[in-house]
Amino acid sequence: MLNWLSEYRRQFLPSISKRAIFRHYIPASGAVSHSLFTAHLFTPIIISRFFPVYDMALSNVVLFNSHLGIGFFVFFRPHLYHLNAWNRVEYSVFASVVFNFGSILLTILLKSFLPKRLNSAGRSIAAVCLSIFMMRSGYKYIKHIDSRTKHLKDFNFEHAGAPT
């Protein structure tokens, strides 16, 4: 049991390094930001309640962080390993923008189907569940693309332009 917990911690909370920050912690913060932004779209009053003056700025920062997280996640995927750094950046930015703005469109569409009498907590829970569903679907899609990629023996992205 202790080994399992230790392995679980190592997998989800790797030791802090430049590599772990770029490959793990920025994408993880992007996933959290995606959920927060989806919850904000379902219940905009939440951010306004805690930050009445800077609510728009905060929502934009959360969306930007979501873009960064998804972009870094895609940048380090095996199916992009053979590309040069600039093409990887281009494809990562494109994937991040398409995913995040597609999520916004789907969220706004589904928001209209929620009952009007549903309270803020219920709306927030529905939003987080929707965000998890979208991120899980995107992750499964990326894993499928990665599985169709010929894996190299030295799979560490140690070429020019990639952070280590």
Quick: pLDDT tens for 53-79: 888 888 999 999 999 999 999 999 999
Grade residue 1 by pLDDT with cuts at 50, 70 and 90.
Answer: low
Task: Kindly report the backbone phi and psi dihedral angles of residue 116, in degrees, each rounded to the nearest multiple of 5, phi listed first.
Answer: -65, -30
Residue 92 or residue 4, greater confidence = 92
Provide the whole-model pTM.
0.82
Q: What is the rounded CA–CA span in Å between residue 163 and residue 161?
A: 7
Domain boundaries, the chain: 19-147
- For residues 127 and 43, the answer to whether their CB atoms sit within 8 Å is yes
Residue 119: left if φ>0, alpha if ψ -120 to 50, beta else—which one? beta
Q: Does residue 164 register a pLDDT over 50?
A: no
